Amino acid sequence: MGERMRRITILILTLLFFAGVGYASDNSSFKVSQIPEIQKQALKKYKHINTQNKYSKQMQEVGKQAYQTYTNNKKMQTMLNTYENNILSTKQFKAAFKKYAPGWFQKGKKRISFSRIGAHDKLFIFISSSMPMSEIRRYVQQVALINEPDVQIVIRGFVDGVKYLKPTIRFFYKAAKIDPNCEGLTNCKFYNVSIDVNPLPFRKYHIERVPAFVFDPNFQKITKTNINDNDSAYKLYGDVSLEYAIKVLYENSRYIRLKEFLDKLKSKAFYR
């Protein structure tokens, strides 16, 4: 622990000196030539810091026990991961980063790598053209009420095959128009909802039947190279409303993001 603690302490002190240099100047830049001198100052400061105490061995032992408990207990891992994702996905957390670290959210700038910061979550509603259109339209309406890009309706493939686009276009047209009796593209209004034609999510989450609902708290763009990776997604099958599906997924996972979807859906549906 001694040598490792020594290195960590020197690193921290070095970073503090870097920060001091940055804040002391009008601009936050410094010369690379300053680094050796900063390291020397950090080493001098380290000599006056005592990193050992009579509880060091006890602390190491407790740390080992905690680590073993975590690695051997899948339920605890899931619980801690849930808490972490809940914190990182809250609106308050994101708002704080936008305020105090605006560079994170600026386009074209590299974002700092930070564990699972900004972990992307996704809620899928899997449907099929064989389902009753009234049921499909119900999901479209509910997704439109939530109005979140992370809530996605997906269908496995084109209606009647990829060679024929018209059946798929007609299917989307019927599903998305607000007034089911309206005719004509120019006369009708449509819900602001997209239906993704993509077989990869079906394969990724092993969807056996529809309708199906999947919440993936650690979603990454699905490709052929990661399609077989282990996922931590929550899955629900059944001919149920989207509100009920989100409620069940939330009760099983306790992810705050799902609670936000549910609250938004309830509030919007109430005022319709």
pLDDT (tens digit per residue) in 97-150? 555 555 544 444 434 333 344 447 899 999 999 999 999 999 999 999 999 999
The confidence score (pLDDT) of residue 221 equals 86
Q: Lowest-confidence range among 47-51, 116-120, 124-128, 205-209?
A: 116-120
* CB 135 within 8 Å of CB 238: no
Q: Could you tell me which of 190, 191, 245, 182 has the C-alpha nearest to residue 213?
A: 245
More confident residue, 140 or 12: 140
- Over residues 181-199, the pLDDT tens digits come to 998 777 889 999 999 999 9
- Domain spans, the chain: 129-270
Quick one: tokens of 236?
């629900």
Work out the average pLDDT over 160-169. Answer: 80
More confident residue, 270 or 204: 204
pTM of the model: 0.59
Relative orientation angle of helices 91-100 and 74-89, to the nearest 10 degrees: 60
Q: Answer yes or no: is pLDDT of 209 > 50.
A: yes
